Chains A and B, each alone.
Chain A
Amino acid sequence: MSNYIPTIGIEVHVEVKSKSKLFSNSANSYGMATNSAVNVIDLGYPGVLPTLNKEIIRQGIRTAHILNCKITKKMHFDRKNYFYPDNPKNYQITQNRTPIGTDGYVEIEVDGIKKKIGIEELHIEEDTCKSAHRGNVSLLDFNRAGVPLIEIVTKPCISNSKEAMAYLTKLKELLFYANISDCKMEEGSMRCDTNVSISKSEVYGTRTEIKNISSIHNVGLAIEKEILRQEKVLDEGGKIEEETRRFDDKLGETILMRVKETGNDYRYFIEPDIPYLELTDQFIEESIKALPLLPDELREKYNKAGLNSLQIEKIIANRSLNDYFLGLLNYKTNYAIAVNLLLSDISSYLNKHNKLITDTKLTYEKLANIISSLESGEISNKNIKELIPSLMENDKTLENLKEEFNIKNITDDTYIKDIINKVINNNQNSVDDYKNGHDRALKFLMGQVMKETKGSVNPKIASDMLIRELNK
């Protein structure tokens, strides 16, 4: 029986959002035509020197801040030397000795228990080319060469796959909300390597590294499988080798890629082409100030605004609706109704037409007006469904649209009263039942009222009025 203690560490690379690359003014954008976002610097041409995109330093400061890291004020870049065709200069400019952030944490919650996952360091570096292999030739796309990356390294303090997944989910949400990165694992803008070792004592076991796992879910699986594999090896009297593995999601196993050679020798030294940077307090403050509200801050704010936790999680999970909703908080309205509308009718309209809410004409004023009309019973949920396309696509006010769609003023007492009287007259049996104390009869009569009004009346108003008429 196993009583091994697993120790897990995670290294995450994210591609940083920015207009241009880290060390050149080529565009930093995913999905452009092959080798179109390239200049002599990205190609590692003889004689070129790196420039430095300050915005990436700001992004690094922000990342350090949101991961509760100490910010390194005096820092430099280093060269990591190794030969590989996707590495244009055959050295990568990175931060080895003075990472921009150190000693932070990310707080996670697993099964109701909170834990801080320690961050060893985070640093800025450049991405390599993307290579494609066709038969016996290899092709290089330099669009990715020099794209800014931030690498985030945890301490070896993760105990199991659940914690690993919770950490990655939280990290992704944070970086995404802070506008650091798209964090799309499928497009490679977030990449994850995991180190796993097991031991029965306090001394760490030999670790293996699982590279480039394609989703957070697979990180969880890969860790579980790797722990099982290591336990089996040790229980059978074997020895864990220091090696690099990958996770095959079809087989559901980690597969050996290569055994680590005796200590990679990257011949690091200080990059002489980029002078030391000294970050001023002002530069740091300005960078941090530009951060939008982060998920935990939003949760607190939304809780105060009267949303329940399900609504909160759902709205936070939808970034563009969340950003829209955040603006709505400046208006006095019923936020719970707003969220429900956003997540139901509005969402399905947007999805159907493949639009963002910012592409529509649904102003905050219009939405607040709709909500108050709903609350007062002037319009019904059913009306909303009918009105949505027009509300989203043109400038007309709710009043204009109500006329256009011939929506009766359903709070008009006489209109409802006429219908109620008609129902009472046509269902004398049920009326008698009600008068004899059968509550179910009221439900039936109410159903008839809704049917007659095609659901366009406020049920509460109609029900009150029905009872009043029956009791006459």
Chain B
Amino acid sequence: MNKYLDLSINEIHELLVKKEITPLDLVKEALERIEENKDLNAFITINDKVIEEAKNLGEVDKDNLFFGIPIAVKDNIVTKGLRTTCASDILDNFIPIYDATIVKKIKNNKMLIIGKANMDEFAMGSTSETSYFGTPLNPIDKTRTSGGSSGGSASAVSANLVPLALGSDTGGSIRQPASYTGIVGMKPTYGRISRYGLVAFASSLDQIGPMTRTVYENAALLNILVGEDEFDLTSAKKEPEDFTRLIGEKITGMKIALPKFFISEIVDKEIRNKIKEIVSLLKENGAIVDIIDMSYLDTAVNLYQIIAMAEASSNLARFDGVRYGFRNNNAKTIDEMYETTRGLGFGDEVKRRIMVGSYILSGANAKTYYDKALMVRDDIKKEFDRVFKKYDLIIGPTTTRVAPLLGTSKDDPHKAFMDDVLVIPVNMAGLPGLSVPAGTNDKGLPIGLHIIGKAFDEATIYKLASYIEEAVTNE
């Protein structure tokens, strides 16, 4: 079997330009790898037209690094003509009639969508175990979770089934799986990437982002994903920039903050130790690292539970059996049709969150919970602003522990949220955050370093991330 997919994107691109390989070779190899690793359950749907698409891709474009590269797309991003399920029974047979803006960009850049990656149902979960289509496994240790909700994307990239994947991150759903599976995952600034065509979970928090094997490939992929979109009023208008531009630069003089909360008792000791090592490394190389106090970080999970569930309860109301997706045709009245369609179509976690969200917005609760949560959320933003007046970046571990064993998180929903305690504040503040592999524990399980940047300053995050990447690889 060929091993082209083990090469870097730059190397693959060179082979394509030299005509030593074709996109078809890459696609076939990816499909073979997916077949061989079927037990990983990384994909819900394989694009059965991808061979044809590879054949018809046309002349190689030497200026397009991503020409002919296979990519996995998380299954909550709609793809025209290609089943999009959100890992839910309620959309089991749903074939979208339009492409998400981000999918159009992927196609315009001549990348090949190999399939739709597994995930938690409607992105609700931290281990991808709420998927209707079975749980994706962690390629590093198949008894462990690949994280969630973008667990399939993480699993696919970590096992090198495809070099690139798209995930979405509402409360850590790109960064936490990236950390568990030892890959690079970026949640860009809210508004960086159009959400048009991303099936909404919590609209004010959702953000699409790239999941890749290396920092450089992550930054390069982000280059083509960003941009204002007339179909997403929350997308930001920004001058085009090259996110790879600071990669390789020295970190001397960089001002980095490490909040105490990120190395508190809630974090496993082996991870805290790893962070200490990283801090020493950074200091040795001329960076300034200060351990600081930051307020409100500990409130983020509670805020998340209020804001995300409230918004979700409304966003998921459209799945009612009237226009698309599953409908229970045996119902006698419209109310019965709604109740049974949604009752049968949604999984338990989704139903639980819809109910909690509805309760939170109900009557006087809206003021007691939702409005108050929005106020505290503003305070979190201000707190980040305050820190970023003095520092270029904030770092910490991405997760409190390494990837847990499968089946251990399901019984305690609240504990599952605590997996994301370190990453959620970033969604609340709308900031960019990235997880980069920082080494492993003694069992060889990956530990991720979380790097948080100023709004729209992804380039500086990549600068530090690539530095860490190189240091860890050369260890």
B320 part of interface (Cβ distance < 8 Å): yes
Q: Is the CB of A267 within 8 A of B362?
A: yes
Q: Is the CB of A90 within 8 A of B323?
A: no
Q: Is the CB of A267 within 8 A of B196?
A: no
Q: Is the CB of A269 within 8 A of B320?
A: no
Q: Is the CB of B314 within 8 A of A48?
A: no
B232 part of interface (Cβ distance < 8 Å): yes
Q: A89-B318, A90-B320 in contact; A49/B196 too (CB < 8 A)? A: yes
The smallest beta-carbon distance between A386 and chain B, in angstroms, is 59
**Neighbouring B residues of A274 by C-beta, 8 Å:** 233
Give the contacts of A35-63 with B (CB-CB under 8 A).
40, 43-52
A273 part of interface (Cβ distance < 8 Å): yes
B73 part of interface (Cβ distance < 8 Å): no
Partner of B358, one of A85, A263, A267: A267
A4 part of interface (Cβ distance < 8 Å): no
A112 part of interface (Cβ distance < 8 Å): no
Q: Is the CB of A51 within 8 A of B361?
A: no
Q: Is the CB of A46 within 8 A of B195?
A: no
How far apart sit A51 and B228, CA to CA, in the bound complex (Å)?
A: 13
**Neighbouring A residues of B203 by C-beta, 8 Å:** 272-273
How far apart sit A40 and B324, CA to CA, in the bound complex (Å)?
A: 12
How far apart sit A123 and B310, CA to CA, in the bound complex (Å)?
A: 24
Q: Is the CB of A275 within 8 A of B366?
A: no
A79 part of interface (Cβ distance < 8 Å): yes
**Neighbouring B residues of A89 by C-beta, 8 Å:** 317-318
How far apart sit A91 and B202, CA to CA, in the bound complex (Å)?
A: 15
A415 part of interface (Cβ distance < 8 Å): no
How far apart sit A45 and B318, CA to CA, in the bound complex (Å)?
A: 8
**Neighbouring A residues of B314 by C-beta, 8 Å:** 79, 81, 91, 267, 269
How far apart sit A140 and B231, CA to CA, in the bound complex (Å)?
A: 25
The smallest beta-carbon distance between B330 and chain A, in angstroms, is 14
The smallest beta-carbon distance between B397 and chain A, in angstroms, is 29
How far apart sit A88 and B100, CA to CA, in the bound complex (Å)?
A: 19
**From A48, A79, A267, residue with most partner B Cβ within 10 Å:** A267
B69 part of interface (Cβ distance < 8 Å): no
**Neighbouring B residues of A81 by C-beta, 8 Å:** 313-314, 317, 361
Give the contacts of B292-329 with A (CB-CB under 8 A).
310-311, 313-314, 317-320, 322-324
**From A46, A267, A270, A272, residue with most partner B Cβ within 10 Å:** A46
Partner of B311, one of A48, A83, A272: A272
0/1 interface trace, chain B 225-243, chain A, CB 8 Å (1 if under): 0000011111000000000
The smallest beta-carbon distance between B226 and chain A, in angstroms, is 17
Q: Is the CB of B233 within 8 A of A46?
A: no
Q: Is the CB of A267 within 8 A of B324?
A: no
The smallest beta-carbon distance between B316 and chain A, in angstroms, is 9
Q: Which residue of B lies closest to A271 (CB)?
A: B203
**Neighbouring A residues of B100 by C-beta, 8 Å:** 47
Give the contacts of B313-363 with A (CB-CB under 8 A).
313-314, 317-320, 322-324, 334, 338, 358, 361-363
Where chain A touches its partner, the secondary structure class is loop
Q: Is the CB of B324 within 8 A of A45?
A: yes
Q: Is the CB of B313 within 8 A of A267?
A: yes
**Neighbouring B residues of A267 by C-beta, 8 Å:** 313-314, 358, 361-362, 366
Q: Which residue of A lies closest to B84 (CB)?
A: A46
Q: A45-B98, A90-B317 in contact; A52/B233 too (CB < 8 A)? A: yes
Q: Is the CB of B199 within 8 A of A47?
A: yes
B380 part of interface (Cβ distance < 8 Å): no
Q: A46-B86, A46-B91, A89-B318 in contact; A273/B324 too (CB < 8 A)? A: no
A268 part of interface (Cβ distance < 8 Å): yes
**Neighbouring B residues of A261 by C-beta, 8 Å:** none
**Neighbouring B residues of A268 by C-beta, 8 Å:** 361, 366
0/1 interface trace, chain A 314-353, chain B, CB 8 Å (1 if under): 0000000000000000000000000000000000000000
A265 part of interface (Cβ distance < 8 Å): yes
**Neighbouring B residues of A50 by C-beta, 8 Å:** 233
Q: Is the CB of A90 within 8 A of B311?
A: no
Q: Which residue of B lies closest to A79 (CB)?
A: B314
Q: Is the CB of A44 within 8 A of B363?
A: no
How far apart sit A91 and B198, CA to CA, in the bound complex (Å)?
A: 18
**Neighbouring B residues of A91 by C-beta, 8 Å:** 314, 317
Q: How many pairs of residues, A versus B, come closer than 8 Å at their CB atoms?
A: 97
Chain B contact-residue range equals 35 or more
The smallest beta-carbon distance between B199 and chain A, in angstroms, is 5
B94 part of interface (Cβ distance < 8 Å): yes
**Neighbouring A residues of B78 by C-beta, 8 Å:** 45-47
Q: A88-B318, A269-B310 in contact; A83/B363 too (CB < 8 A)? A: no
B123 part of interface (Cβ distance < 8 Å): no
How far apart sit A274 and B235, CA to CA, in the bound complex (Å)?
A: 10
Give the contacts of B67-107 with A (CB-CB under 8 A).
77-78, 84, 86, 91, 94, 96-98, 100
Q: Is the CB of B362 within 8 A of A265?
A: yes
Q: Is the CB of A47 within 8 A of B196?
A: yes
The smallest beta-carbon distance between A52 and chain B, in angstroms, is 6
Q: Is the CB of B317 within 8 A of A49?
A: no
Q: Is the CB of B199 within 8 A of A46?
A: yes
Q: A46-B94, A47-B199, A272-B203 in contact; A83/B233 too (CB < 8 A)? A: no
Q: Is the CB of B317 within 8 A of A83?
A: yes
Q: Is the CB of A47 within 8 A of B323?
A: no
**Neighbouring B residues of A269 by C-beta, 8 Å:** 310-311, 314, 361, 366, 370
How far apart sit A52 and B230, CA to CA, in the bound complex (Å)?
A: 10
**From A79, A89, A263, A273, residue with most partner B Cβ within 10 Å:** A273
B197 part of interface (Cβ distance < 8 Å): yes
How far apart sit A89 and B234, CA to CA, in the bound complex (Å)?
A: 19
0/1 interface trace, chain B 371-412, chain A, CB 8 Å (1 if under): 000100000000000000000000000000000000000000
**Neighbouring A residues of B322 by C-beta, 8 Å:** 85, 140
Give the contacts of A240-273 with B (CB-CB under 8 A).
263, 265, 267-270, 272-273
How far apart sit A269 and B202, CA to CA, in the bound complex (Å)?
A: 13
B200 part of interface (Cβ distance < 8 Å): yes
Q: Which residue of B lies closest to A24 (CB)?
A: B231
B109 part of interface (Cβ distance < 8 Å): no
Q: Is the CB of A47 within 8 A of B233?
A: no
The smallest beta-carbon distance between B211 and chain A, in angstroms, is 19
B440 part of interface (Cβ distance < 8 Å): no
B160 part of interface (Cβ distance < 8 Å): no
**Neighbouring B residues of A40 by C-beta, 8 Å:** 97-98
How far apart sit A279 and B86, CA to CA, in the bound complex (Å)?
A: 38
How far apart sit A88 and B84, CA to CA, in the bound complex (Å)?
A: 19
Partner of B96, one of A46, A83, A85, A272: A46
The smallest beta-carbon distance between B420 and chain A, in angstroms, is 20
Q: Which residue of B lies closest to A52 (CB)?
A: B233
How far apart sit A268 and B370, CA to CA, in the bound complex (Å)?
A: 10
Q: Is the CB of A43 within 8 A of B313?
A: no
The smallest beta-carbon distance between B429 and chain A, in angstroms, is 15
**Neighbouring A residues of B232 by C-beta, 8 Å:** 49, 273
How far apart sit A164 and B361, CA to CA, in the bound complex (Å)?
A: 36
**Neighbouring B residues of A46 by C-beta, 8 Å:** 78, 84, 86, 91, 94, 96, 199, 318-319, 324
B45 part of interface (Cβ distance < 8 Å): no
**Neighbouring A residues of B231 by C-beta, 8 Å:** 48-49, 51
**Neighbouring B residues of A52 by C-beta, 8 Å:** 233
The smallest beta-carbon distance between A248 and chain B, in angstroms, is 25
The smallest beta-carbon distance between B259 and chain A, in angstroms, is 27
B47 part of interface (Cβ distance < 8 Å): no
Partner of B320, one of A51, A83, A270: A83
A-B contact sample (19 more), CB < 8 A, given A47-B77, A51-B231: A40-B97, A46-B84, A46-B318, A47-B78, A47-B198, A48-B196, A49-B231, A51-B233, A83-B320, A88-B323, A90-B318, A90-B320, A265-B363, A267-B314, A267-B362, A267-B366, A268-B366, A269-B370, A274-B233
A-B contact pairs, 6 of them (CB 8 A): A45-B96, A47-B78, A48-B197, A79-B314, A267-B358, A267-B362
